[in-house]
Chain A
Amino acid sequence: MKVFITGMGIITAIGAGADETLSALKSGRSGIGGIRRFDTVHRHIPVGEVKQSNEELCDLLKLPTVGRYYSRTALLGLMAARQAMRSSHSVTPVRRVALVNATTTGGMDYHEMHYRKLSSDDIHAQEMELLDCAGGTHLIAETLGITDNVTTVSTACSSSANAILTGVRMIRNGLADKVLAGGSDAITRFTLNGFNTLEILSPTGCRPFDAHRNGLTLGEGAAYVVLEPEKTALPDDVLCVVSGYANVSEAYHQTSSSPDGKGAAMVIRQALSVAALSPDDIDCIHAHGTGTQVNDLSEGRAVETVFRNQIPPLSSAKGCIGHTLAAAGSAGAVVSVLSLGEQLLFPNTGFNHPMPELSFQPNTLLRKATVNHVLSNSFGFGGSNTSLIFSRY
């Protein structure tokens, strides 16, 4: 059974909506800059913030604000989720709509700002609702009227790739007729400090696959896709087919990927096998490409292992939007869909010097090309590796 993407929504540091995102990707414009949204001693570390404030997001979403509390992760999620649902129409009213959301921070941005209040007697019921991963999912479900199979995946940086994978399988297994799947994460002091203790934040802005790469850059945002089977999808809405997907555990280290990219190669091969495609069918790769020493080497080696001497054009969008954590996989899906729709290869921002360990370098130019199949990778803490393949229809 074919599962289509029939709608999508995105908000990141380079803009809100597919159109703004496309024009930024075409121009290679980066959304990475200073930290404006919260107070921290790590001011010098660049990040990819979404331009709108929480108040502006509430305004755009027409949400009541008096006596109500929202986490930024939830607001960003609702922005992108609403766009996605609005852009997909379906043939007939669909009965069973599911929501598979993804987040790693949940209501952390609110929690860390109001920590003292939460342990006082003044705590409001709705503030507690924000605390965990489910709070933001509930806001999206409530606002968009979804009640069936409402759930949240949290597998670190591969979370929303797994949300899409689960959504596709829900349709294939007959559990849902339409699935809204994706993820959302705001930048928080918690994640900034967390990644800082691991010493993997770039002091200059990330440079995926560059010999002088010096760490990742945190981004924030949300991205969602609407998944539908052939029978209910409106032909005009069909953006692409989700043809391949796989999830494997590398089981190598708690935070690090193996230097030889064993887990990454394994997951890419499995996704190709689900899609019944061979490596040379892939026209471009949307890489995980975080810009850390370990990831880019490991992912690069995995790509060499699978594609040997015919490596398709590869690029990572993290050089302009940053690493949006739980939203990275679904943002990758949106970028892949844009690539298929426009028949374009997007440049890998921030690249200058080829890595001596690799036989290839990322694509640095915006160019027209025949794009039929895009591979999108997402790798997370704990060896959580997921690959998705999007194909033209």
Chain B
Amino acid sequence: MDKTSLIEKLKIQIIESLTLEDVKPEDIDSEAPLFVEGLGLDSIDALELILLLEKRYGVKIIDPKTRREALQSVSSMADCILKKQKTGAAECRTTTDDTPPENKDMHGKA
């Protein structure tokens, strides 16, 4: 699948998994930041998007920095998926950071 059609597919899946009822795929700018500005998503949405990548595309991202990069925009999500399809790596890593992934929590309360 080329990047353009992957992006279109992703937009539909994002709308569905985040129940963005009043948003249409064409309302989402592929390059615009997903969080705070743009769609105004938060950390709970981030977990849902990580789950979407995992379940639909088999892309598992643990490293927080890689996650931040992958969830920049719809376009970067697509890049991450394409990269995984090309290399077949189980985990999408853009850095060579070997330190154990810190538990990047955004929901410290509890």
Say yes or no: A256-B43 contact (C-beta < 8 A), given A157-B109, A380-B110: yes
Across the two chains, which residue of chain B brings its CB closest to A295? Answer: B108
Give A218 to B104 CA distance when docked, in angstroms: 17
- Interface residue SS majority, chain B: loop
Across the two chains, which residue of chain A brings its CB closest to B42? Answer: A253
Give A215 to B44 CA distance when docked, in angstroms: 17
Would you call A290 and B102 a contact (CB within 8 A)?
A: no
Would you call B103 and A256 a contact (CB within 8 A)?
A: no
Would you call B110 and A255 a contact (CB within 8 A)?
A: yes
Across the two chains, which residue of chain B brings its CB closest to A256? Answer: B107
A-B contact count (CB 8 A): 76
Give A202 to B110 CA distance when docked, in angstroms: 13
Would you call A199 and B44 a contact (CB within 8 A)?
A: no
Would you call B47 and A292 a contact (CB within 8 A)?
A: no
**Chain A, 185-200, contact with B by CB distance < 8 Å: what is the 0/1 string?**
0000000000101111
Would you call B109 and A255 a contact (CB within 8 A)?
A: yes
Contacts of B21 in A (CB 8 A): none
Would you call A200 and B47 a contact (CB within 8 A)?
A: no
Would you call B105 and A257 a contact (CB within 8 A)?
A: no
Would you call A199 and B47 a contact (CB within 8 A)?
A: yes
Q: How far is the CB of A217 from chain B (nearest CB, A)?
A: 11
Contacts of A290 in B (CB 8 A): 108-110
Give A236 to B50 CA distance when docked, in angstroms: 58
In the complex, chain B residues 46-93 whose Cβ is within 8 Å of any chain A Cβ: 47
Across the two chains, which residue of chain A brings its CB closest to B62? Answer: A199
Contacts of A257 in B (CB 8 A): 108-109
Give A295 to B103 CA distance when docked, in angstroms: 13
Would you call B104 and A195 a contact (CB within 8 A)?
A: no
Contact of A198 among B42, B102, B105 (CB under 8 A): B105
Contact of B106 among A156, A256, A381 (CB under 8 A): A256
Give A260 to B99 CA distance when docked, in angstroms: 28
Question: Which residues in A have some Cβ–Cβ distance to B below 8 Å?
Answer: 156-157, 195, 197-203, 212, 214-216, 253-257, 290, 292-298, 323, 325, 379-381, 383
> Can you name 12 A-B residue pairings with CB atoms under 8 Å?
A198-B110, A199-B104, A200-B103, A200-B105, A215-B103, A216-B110, A255-B110, A292-B107, A292-B110, A297-B108, A298-B108, A379-B109
Question: Which residues in B have some Cβ–Cβ distance to A below 8 Å?
Answer: 42-44, 47, 102-110
